[in-house]
Structure 1
Amino acid sequence: MTVAAEDAGNAGDAGSKGSATPGDFLAPVLSASWDQPESWTLDTYRRCDDGYEGLKKALAMSPDDLIAYVKDAGLRGRGGAGFPTGMKWQFIPQGDGKPHYLVVNADESEPGTCKDIPLLFANPHALIEGIVIACYAIRSSHAFIYLRGEVVPVLRRLHEAVREAYAAGYLGENILGSGIDLELTVHAGAGAYICGEETALLDSLEGRRGQPRLRPPFPAVEGLYACPTVVNNVESIASVPAILNRGKEWFRSMGSEKSPGFTLYSLSGHVASPGQYEAPLGITLRQLLDLSGGMRPGHRLKFWTPGGSSTPMFTEEHLDVPLDYEGVGAAGSMLGTKALQCFDETTCVVRAVTRWTEFYAHESCGKCTPCREGTYWLVQLLRDIEAGKGRADDLDKLLDIADNINGKSFCALGDGAASPIASSLKYFREEYEAHLDGKGCPFDPAKSTLWADKRDTHLEVTA
């Protein structure tokens, strides 16, 4: 799937500070070759992205110098938490006599989050090259990619890319004559959102039911098969080759001081041109809407998520918040996976939050009481409120239950379930109150396209 930000206009009813062109804000690196014929092949990757040149430069360095280089570049994890990637690599103990593992988390499944799957579909060799570099740095001879099993076309392309890498000498024994050996295993999960949590992913990879582990010990000390393990997001690892090839100064020239570099923003919802927009960290939603043609014609932005459904929502007043880790955090939310879901005035906030909460209740692994019981009761209350069966004190009950989940559950799934509830009541309490005492939902579902199944002509899907 390739997405081009073309014919940029102003943001329409969302508000605008003038027009923009793609060159003003975008920084295509990972997505630079997505529109090339057979972009997923090794030949295209070598031709268009200087494929595996970063690996050659990495192998000319010592592992410790390589880790220091990635730390100096300032690359932060693109999976949600934003933890410095080089520092994560540095936590792996050396000289312990145990095998070390790299596990790439490709179990992308949160509502609104859709960056890693398109990246793997269009440019899998960027990830493979990054894996080889990372394994060299942490002294690992076996890496794993844990992919969500439902995305069979991506799985097939990834297997073919791995085969090409083995045939070209980038994987296997004595990589590029360096004496380094590396095996890469692609594992397809069975489709559970909880396996996106790194320790649940490790349990699933070992053949057990995917449930979060008690920490400590942390994966860097006892991870996969009780050995030191680094778990990184797809985009985090795929960004490493460009840093090695073009230099850490080039990488730090983009973004902000504490959040340098480029990243993929997933724009979806009631926007004119949804898709992937690769830009420096710190771009604003207003600028992205400028690039994408704004909200759908005749409608205004009502609320949006900066990092997927598990992050506190924002409103129109946050259009100019810098979309980096510090800027979004200071405004009261989290950058997360940079899944920018935009909803217009036809959307019922209560309905949207109820659907999200149903998802989290369904995907809860049930291991801890706050999440298992709390998400169930949140769904019951929200369904009653949406149907007009709620009472005024139900709103305080929602906040009380959310507070008993947030920060008290075994993993971040509970926090994600509580976030949209607390933030939606903060900004749209009157809308909740409009549903109470037998009134029901004041919004006409027929006027909203939120749940419609429609084809977007701005997306070009390749087989």
Structure 2
Amino acid sequence: MTELLPVLTDTWDAERSWTLGAYEAAGGYEGLRTSLGMDPADIVAAVKASGLRGRGGAGFPTGMKWGFLPPPDGGPRYLVVNADESEPGTCKDIPLMLASPQHLIEGVVITSYAIGCHHAFIYVRGEVVHVYRRLLAAVQEAYDAGYLGKDIQGSGFDLDVTVHAGAGAYICGEETALLDSLEGKRGQPRLKPPFPAVAGLYARPTVVNNVESIASVPGIMKHGVDWFASMGTEKSQGHGLFSLSGHVTRPGQYEAPLGITLRELLDQAGGVRAGHELKFWTPGGSSTPLFTADHLDTPLDYESVGAAGSMLGTRALQIFDETTCVVRAVSRWTDFYAHESCGKCTPCREGTYWLKQVLRRIEAGQGEERDIDLLLDLCDNILGRAFCALGDGATSPVTSSIQLFRDEYEAHLGGRGCPFDPSASALFAYTPKQPRTPALAGVGGH
């Protein structure tokens, strides 16, 4: 049994855990003091050696990303923290910033020192006003204590941090759309290359990292590379926050080494709600292909989840029991993606719109057999052709749900409506079949 491992969550139950005093009492900012006595290049090398991978979804090695910055040219370079948590089912960064914002701020200072940044930005989703206010207060506490500002802790290093509230757009979770939004422009993805490491914020070299990625850095610098690398699996090292939601007895944040299984997490969370059984779940939010009970023992690391046909993503584990209509769930997710498409590219703008229309038609019992193949055809015309990953992600629940539960789609056809809806035709009885697990391989990801 893999044990839960409180690292980022170790102070969440402390009295007034969000304050600087509570964070320092638990050993906070020791990693920063260690880092300020090191050569910045050695910090980058340590993060590379630790095996820390981006916790925002893609899983790209964090230290390698820092290493892509060009040599200093005398001009500014920036760190931008992506705190625009918007993926349906994802709820790890907001609790972290709410319960322990100093974890993030210490990580921002260490990272900025390592990459030669003197002005960092934290881009927060605008709807979470309470988190925005707490971050502002935490940043002020850090300034007052000498962890931000001029000559930090007598090191000669200067750093300012700006907390910026976005206007609420899922597309701004894409790093280049976030940068455009931060510059005051409409949030839409940029053509790459150039990549942000070369021409990012204000056309200067920029590192964009997720909240959890940056918050993980202080522990590496405090406890050492070997400590972090000893957790997780060979290629997916370290700890991570797993967000369990939906039909589970005790939903919430569960911090554990990468490689833990959903079966183990459900044991910790009291299992699926009483009297019900697992039907399907998402390993990394709604933009990742669905899993079923057959995947309960799949290690939740980047390689194992990928080999099983999905993506680890943001580790947003949404749990659905047998009372859930998969067509209805996928239709609601597709409504979200169609609404949040920025409209810049035709495959995503038009494709998500038509996916929404066809899914609604099927769910209402007005669909035909050919509509199921039409959905797959639409997904084929979106996947790999959209300007950014939003379009690809929108296809994942559609294609995977059809492969796993095509019989359930078919049960809606011919005017019968949703078999899970009490108002649907009483003449029709639906008995779910076993999901078709072998077909998952090769399903499009995000």
Shorter-chain TM-score: what band?
Answer: over 0.9
The structural deviation recorded for 1:60 is: 1.2
Tell me which of 18, 32, 36 is aligned to 1:40.
18
What is aligned with 2:170?
Answer: 193
Letter paired with 1:44: A
Query: CA deviation digits over 1:139-172, x for unaligned, max 9?
Result: 0000000000111111111111000000010000
1:151 aligns with 2:152: no
Map Cα deviations across residues 238-289 of structure 1 (whole Å, 9 max, x no partner): 0000111011111111100100100000000000000000000000000000
Aligned partner of 2:308 among 331, 344, 348: 331
- Cα drift, residue 220 of structure 1: 0.2
Identity %: 73
Query: Whose RCO is larger (CA < 8 A, sep 6+)?
Result: 1
Is 1:103 the counterpart of 2:47 in the alignment? no
Counterpart for residue 403 of structure 1: 380
Q: Give unmatched runs, 5+ long, in structure 2.
A: 424-446
Q: Output the TM-score relative to the length of structure 1.
A: 0.91
RMSD of the alignment, in Å?
A: 1.1
* Pair 1:170 & 2:142 matched: no
Conservation of the 8 A alpha-carbon contact between 1:98 and 1:228 = no
Match of 1:131 in 2: 108
Shift of 1:59: 1.0
* 35, 60, 69: which one aligns with 1:58: 35
Superimposed CA distance per residue, residues 79-120 of structure 1 (whole angstroms, 9 cap, x where no aligned partner):
000000000001111222321000000000111000000000
Structure 1 CA distance for aligned equivalents of residues 402 and 30 of structure 2: 51
The 8 Å contact of residues 386 and 435 in structure 1, kept in 2 or not, is answered as yes
Deviations 1:48-73 (A, max 9, x none): 2x110000111111111110000000
- Distance in structure 2 (CA, Å) of the matches to 1:135 and 1:443: 52
Partner of 2:237: 260
Q: Give 1:443's match in structure 2, choosing from 420, 431, 437.
A: 420
State which of 203, 228, 235 in structure 1 corresponds to 2:205: 228
The count of corresponding residues between Structure 1 and Structure 2 is: 424
CA distance in 2, matches of 1:95, 1:324: 35
The corresponding residue for 2:407 is 430
d(CA) in 2 for partners of 1:136, 1:191? 30
- 1:308 counterpart residue number: 285
Unmatched runs of 5 consecutive residues or more in structure 1: 1-19, 447-463
Report what 1:31 is aligned to: 9
User: Is 1:122 aligned to residue 135 of structure 2?
Assistant: no
Q: Does 1:84 align with 2:67?
A: no
Q: What is the letter of the counterpart of residue 67 of structure 1?
A: V
What CA deviation, in whole Å up to 9, does each residue of 1:151-204 have, x standing for no partner?
Answer: 111111111100000001000000011110001000000100000000000000
Q: Distance in 2 between matches of 1:271 and 1:374?
A: 33
Distance (Å, rounded) in 2 between the aligned partners of 1:147 and 1:445: 41
Q: Give the ranges of 4+ consecutive aligned residues of structure 1 lying more than 4 Å apart after TM superposition.
A: none
Aligned residue for 1:322? 299
Task: Report the Cα offset of residue 445 of structure 1.
Answer: 6.6
Does the 8 Å contact 1:304/1:314 carry over to 2? yes
- Read off the aligned partner of 1:76 and give its amino acid letter: R
Q: Secondary structure in 1 aligned to 2:254?
A: strand
